[in-house]
Structure 1
Amino acid sequence: MSATFQVNVRLVELRVIVRDAQGKAIGTLRKEDFHLFDDGKPQVITEFRVAKPGFEVAREQQTSGSSSAATGATTMPDIPERYVAYVFDDVHLELSDLLRVREAAEKNLATLQPTDRAAMFTTSGQNNVNFTDDRGRLHDALLRLLPHPIGSSVGTECPKMTYYMADLIQNKNDPQALDAVTSDALACAFNNDTRMRAAAQALAQSAAAQGLLSGDAETHLALSSLKAVLRQVSAVPGQRAVILISPGFITPQQQYDVDNIIDHALHANITISALDARGLYALIPGGDASTPSRLSPSSLAADSLEAQYQLNSASADADVMAVLADGTGGSFFQNSNALEVGFRRIASAPEYYYLLGFSPQNLKLNGRFHNLKVTLSATTPFSVQARRGYFAPKQHPLPDQQARQEIEDAIFSQEELHELPVDLHTQFFKPNDTEAKLTVLAHVDVKQLHFQKASGRNNSDLTIVSAIFDRNGNYVTGIEKILQLHLKDETLAYRMGSGLSVKSNFDVKPGGYLVRLVVRDAQGQIAAENGAVQIP
C-alpha cells in the first residue's frame, strides 16, 4: 500500500477520501473527476489509483521452515496496513464525558480489521498501550481510563474561573471579563455587599492568576503528549492516523507548539483527526440546579454576560481540534451525541480512497510550504478530505544522502515497488524451543539489471536492506549489504540464467514477524517487497 503522502522533487502524492452526505466513502470516481491545485495553480494529475484497505495478506507459500521438532501448518500473520493511535485527553476530560466516549471507543475497536493495529495513549501519560492486535489489552486499558487533571482543577467555584476567562484577564487585560468575574466573586463570597467590591476584584484577580497557571500547565502537557505520540507513530510502517478524543482546550500562548505538531505530522505522513467528547454542547442559563440563585439586577446581568463567555469558551476550546484536523488532512467530529458514529467516521478505515500524484513544475528548493487543494468536477454533496499541503525540499541532497533517505523511506512504508526484478523468500530453523534462525533471501533477476562496461567488466552496485518488524509493526532489527558486481562477460552470461541470491540471517525468538526487503541500484531504481513469517 502506498504511503498516505510523500514528496520528492519529481513527484508529489496525496491520499484523498471522498464521502457522501451520510459519511460513506465513494469509490466510483475517475481521474477526470478531480482537480488538483498547488498554491492555486492547476496541476496535471499524472498518477491516479483507487485503493481499498484491507487487502494485504501474508504470503505463506514464500516461507519455508524446519525445526528439530515436528510442526504442523501455522497461520501467517496479516501484514499491518494501518496504524491507529487513540489519544484520550484525560487531562481535560470530565468523568461524565469520558464514560460516554469510552463506551463508543470500545465499540469502534471491535470494528478494526485484521490488518489494523491500534494503540492507546493518554495526555497524562498513564495507561499507555503501544500498537497491538491484542484487543483484550486495549479493552483493559479503556476500563482503566479516568480523568487526570493537574492539581484539583483549572476552574474554581468561587469565583467561577476557567482557563478562557483567566487568559482574557491576565494575558489580554480584558476589563469586561474582570468585571464579570468580580461580580461573581461579590455574589458568591460577599453576598453582593457592594462595599466589598475591591476585595471581590482582588479575589477575581487571584483566581485568574491561578487559573492561568493551571491552564497553561494542562495545555502544555496535552500538546507535549501529542508530540510524543507523533514521534512514536512515526516509527511504524504503513498508513498512520492519530485520533484525539478531547473536550478541547485553548492555546493562548502555545500556537507555535500547535504549528510544530502540524508540521511534524505533515513531514511524517500522519493524519490527525479529532472527536469532541462533549457531544452536543448545551449551556444552562444561570447554571444548573446546584448553582445558587442571584437576585440582584447586577448579578442577573452578570449571569447573562457569564453565559456569553461560557459559549465563547466552548467554541474556543474546539478550535485546536479543528486546526489540527484541517492542517493534517484529518476529520473533526463535533456537536453530536452520536459518538459511535463519530468514531466510525474518523477512526475506521474508509472503504475506498484515491491516490493522486503530480509533478510540480519549476519547484524551488526553499523549504517553503505549498498549499494543496483538491476539488471535484461535478457539483455534488460529496466532501473531500485531503492534506492541506506539502513542504518543498530545502536543497538538492547529496547523492549519498538521497540514497540513504530513499531507502529509509521505503523501509518504513508498505508500498511495494517493482523498478528492479527482485523476489523475497524467507526460511527459518529452530535449534530449540526458544530460539530461531530466520533467513531473508533476496533473489535478483540479473537479466534486467543495468550494467556499465568498464575495463572489460560489467559493473553494477546494489544496496540490499532486510528489516524485521514484529507482528504489530515495531522495528526489531535490520541488515544492510552492499553488493558490488564486477562481472566478466562469461560470468554475466551464466548469471543471466540463474540470477543472484543474497541471504541475510537473523537470530529471533519464535513468533510472528513482518519482513521488509528494499533493493536500490546506483541509478536510483528501487524494489520493495513485503513478507511475513510465523515461527511456532
Structure 2
Amino acid sequence: MLRVLSFSLFVASVVGAQSVPTLRTGTQLVVVDVVVTDKNGAPVHGLKETDFALRDEGAEQKVLNFQEHPASASQRMPELPKMPPGTFTNYVPLRQDVPLNIVLLDLLNTPLLDQGYARQQLEKYVMTLQPGTPISIFALTSRLMMLQGFSSNPEILRGAIASRKTMSPPLLLKPQSQTDDESDSKQDVDSTHPLVQAEVRANLDEIATNQKDFQVQARTQLTLDAINQLSRYLSGFPGRKNLIWFTGSFPVNIFPQGDISTSFSNMPSMAEEYRDTVNLLATSQIAVYPIDSRGLFSNPIADATGRHFAMGPERVAEEQAFSEQTATEQTAMRVLASSTGGKAYVNKNDLTAAVTDAIQSGSSYYTLTYAPTDKKQEGRFHRIKVNVQGGGYRLAYREGYYAAAGKLHTVAIDSHAFSAEKAGNTVMQRSMLRGAPEATQIYFTTSFTVPGGKESLSPVLAKGSISTSAAKGPYRLYKAVFTADPNSITALPDGADKVNVGIEFVALVYDANGVLQSWAGKTLRGALAKAKYAEMVKAGVQYGLDVSVPAKGDFYIRTGVHDLASDRVGALEVPASLIVAKTGTAHP
C-alpha cells in the first residue's frame, strides 16, 4: 500500500513539476493474506495481531505489519490526476480498502460445449453485481487478452463477456484415453496376423502417449505464461486480488507436493518458470478461485446415443482413464486454490452462485507482513504456517514461496525479440507484445514530445530507432521520456564499496495487426561505486528514446521499463493517434 501511495504522489509531482525519481534498495518482505471464517463459513472480525502465530519453515516470525480488511461499503473508484498533454502512465488509481476481482475465461483448457454455459452464468452474475465491486475480465486462448479493465458497471462487463466468442481448444485432448480414430485403428489391428498385432498396438499406444505429452506440455507453457502475465499486470495494484478462473481442466499443479527435484521431473525445462509463478502469485497477493466450467458432468462415452456404447474391455479402460483424469484435474484445482488462499468449485451446475461465493469469501481478510529470519536465498520452497488462538476457525492463506537469489536478468532487446512469431520467452519480451496486459510491477510515465516543438514528416528514421521490413516511411518522430517509480528499482550489493544496477528502457511501434514496425531501446547496467550510486540517487533516473512512427495507418506505441535485478516489468501501450492529438499535431 505504501508503494502505491508514494506513486500516487509521484504521479502528482510529474503532473505538476516533472520531478525526477530516485533509486532505492529494499528488504525482502513476505505478505500473507489470511481469510478467517467460523464453522458456518461467516467471516470472523475483530481479531488482533496477538491472536495470530506465524511460522516460516517451522521458525516463528515477527509480524511487522498487521491489518484487518473488512468488507467495505460501495464507493466510487478514484480518478487519475489529469496528465499533461502527451504524457501517459500505467498507473491505475483504485480503492485500497476493497479487494479486486479478476475473471479469467479459460478457452484454452475448456471444452467448446462448456464455454457457452460458463459465459451465460457469468453474464447472469454481473447483472446482479453490487455497486462498487471492481471486476476486470480476461480471456485465455493461445495468449492472454484483456477484455475489460476494472469496472463495476454491469452493462460494460456484460458487453465484454459477449465480445469473446467460443472457440475449439486446439490443444485439448478428449477426456477419454483415446480418440475414436485411435479406437478404430486398434480394432483394425485385432484382425491382423497375431504375430504383428502386439507390436502395432504398442506403436499406436506410444504415438497416442507422445501426442498427449506434447499437448499437455504446450498447454502447461501457455497457462504458466498467462498466470505470470496476469500477475505482473496486477502486481502494482494494492491489496488482495481474487482470481476467478473459469476452466474445464488444469494441465498442471504448480505447487510442489514434495521435493522440487521430483515435482518437476516431467517438465524440467519449466522448473524456473514454476518458481516464478508461485512467487508472482504471492507477491501480487493473488488468491485463485477455480470454477470447473463443466459443472456436474459424466463421461461422454456413457451416452447411449454414442456409437461405442457397448462396454467392452476397451471402454472399461476408457471409463477408468476418464475418472482418473477428471480426479487429477479437479485435485489440481483444489491444490491451486488452497495453496493461494482461495477456494475451488467443482461438480456444481450453479456457476453464478460460485462466483458470488468466491467474491464474498475474498472480501474480508487479514494481512500479515514479515521479514523471514532465514536470510538464505537458496531457491528452496518455504512453507508458511498460520494459527489463530481459539477453536473452530477455518483459515485460508497461501502455502509458501521460493526464496530466490537476486541476479541480473537477461536483456530483451534484439532484432526479433518482439515479433509474436519469433519472440523469446523472457518476461520482458512477453510483456512487450502488442495487446498484452500492461504490467504494473514498475509504475512509470512516458511523455511524448515533438522534437523542435513542431511536427515534420521525415523520410528516414530517428537516430537510434530501428525499423523492420514491414515499415514504410515517411515517419513521425517523437522523443519518449521515461520517468519510473523510484520504489521499483533495485540495487544489488557488490562487495563493500559497489552496487549493481540494471535498467532496460524499450519503445516499440506496432500496426493494428501486431506486426512490429520499428523499435528503440537502451540498457543501463553495471557496477557503481557507492559514491556514484549516491549521486545517481540524488540526481534521479530518467531516460529518453527517439521513436519513429509511420505516418500512414493506425499504429500503437508500447513502452516498457525492466528492472534487471528483480526482473520486474512495467508496460504501457498508447495508440499513436492519441499521441498525435495530445501533442497538437494532425494526420495529413
Q: TM-score, normalised by structure 2?
A: 0.52
Contact 1:87 1:120 in 2 (8 A): yes
Q: Which blocks of at least 5 consecutive residues in structure 2 are unaligned?
A: 5-24, 83-92, 253-265, 409-482, 490-536, 542-557, 562-577, 579-588
Output the amino acid matched with 1:186: K
Aligned to 2:113: 96
Aligned to 2:225: 224
Change (3 A) 1:224 1:149: farther
Matching of residue 137 in structure 1 with residue 148 in structure 2: no
Distance 1:205 1:464 in 2: 60
Identity %: 21
Matching of residue 29 in structure 1 with residue 30 in structure 2: no
* Residue correspondences, number: 378
Rg larger in 1 or in 2?
1
Output the amino acid matched with 2:329: D
Contact 1:370 1:389 in 2 (8 A): yes
From 286, 297, 303, give the equivalent of 1:288.
303
Distance 1:302 1:59 in 2: 58
Measured against aligned partners, the alpha-carbon deviations of 1:481-521 in whole angstroms (never above 9, x if no partner) come to: xxxxxxxxxxxxxxxxxxxxxxxxxxxx9xxxxxxxxxxxx
Q: Which blocks of at least 5 consecutive residues in structure 1 are unaligned?
A: 65-76, 162-180, 398-403, 411-460, 466-474, 479-508, 510-536
Change (3 A) 1:375 1:289: same
Output the amino acid matched with 1:265: L
Change (3 A) 1:368 1:127: closer
Contact 2:108 2:172 in 1 (8 A): no
Contact 2:112 2:169 in 1 (8 A): no
| 1:362 Cα deviation from its structure 2 partner | 6.0
Matching of residue 20 in structure 1 with residue 99 in structure 2: no
Measured against aligned partners, the alpha-carbon deviations of 1:158-214 in whole angstroms (never above 9, x if no partner) come to: 9527xxxxxxxxxxxxxxxxxxx9877434x56877858455554444444444444
| 1:42 Cα deviation from its structure 2 partner | 3.1
Matching of residue 408 in structure 1 with residue 503 in structure 2: no
| 1:373 Cα deviation from its structure 2 partner | 0.9
Change (3 A) 1:350 1:212: closer
Matching of residue 388 in structure 1 with residue 399 in structure 2: yes
SS at structure 2 position matched to 1:280: coil
Change (3 A) 1:126 1:272: closer
| 1:358 Cα deviation from its structure 2 partner | 4.4
Aligned to 2:56: 38
Change (3 A) 1:33 1:372: same
Change (3 A) 1:288 1:56: closer
Contact 1:186 1:193 in 2 (8 A): no
Matching of residue 269 in structure 1 with residue 285 in structure 2: yes
| 1:140 Cα deviation from its structure 2 partner | 1.9
Measured against aligned partners, the alpha-carbon deviations of 1:229-278 in whole angstroms (never above 9, x if no partner) come to: 22322244443333322122334537634443212222333333322222
Aligned to 2:386: 374
Q: State how 1:318-357 maps to structure 2 within 5 Å.
A: 318-348=330-360, 350-357=362-369
Change (3 A) 1:245 1:300: same
SS at structure 2 position matched to 1:332: coil
| 1:314 Cα deviation from its structure 2 partner | 0.8
Change (3 A) 1:234 1:28: closer
Matching of residue 111 in structure 1 with residue 123 in structure 2: no
Distance 2:135 2:164 in 1: 20
Change (3 A) 1:116 1:54: farther
| 1:384 Cα deviation from its structure 2 partner | 0.7
| 1:124 Cα deviation from its structure 2 partner | 3.5
Contact 1:120 1:141 in 2 (8 A): no
Change (3 A) 1:352 1:191: same
Q: State how 1:164-175 maps to structure 2 within 5 Å.
A: none
Aligned to 1:246: 247
Contact 1:14 1:357 in 2 (8 A): yes
RMSD of the alignment, in Å? 4.8
SS at structure 1 position matched to 2:368: strand
Greater percentage in strand: 1
Distance 2:174 2:192 in 1: 24
SS at structure 1 position matched to 2:330: helix
SS at structure 2 position matched to 1:216: helix
Contact 2:171 2:216 in 1 (8 A): no
Distance 1:139 1:48 in 2: 37
Distance 2:142 2:125 in 1: 22
Measured against aligned partners, the alpha-carbon deviations of 1:405-451 in whole angstroms (never above 9, x if no partner) come to: 995369xxxxxxxxxxxxxxxxxxxxxxxxxxxxxxxxxxxxxxxxx
From 100, 114, 118, give the equivalent of 1:83.
100
Contact 2:171 2:219 in 1 (8 A): no
Change (3 A) 1:354 1:3: farther
Change (3 A) 1:338 1:3: farther
SS at structure 2 position matched to 1:23: coil
SS at structure 2 position matched to 1:248: coil
Aligned to 1:122: 140
SS at structure 2 position matched to 1:128: strand
From 326, 329, 332, give the equivalent of 1:317.
329
Distance 1:396 1:157 in 2: 45
Distance 1:123 1:191 in 2: 39
Contact 2:137 2:147 in 1 (8 A): yes
| 1:377 Cα deviation from its structure 2 partner | 2.6
Q: TM-score, normalised by structure 1?
A: 0.57
Distance 1:194 1:279 in 2: 45
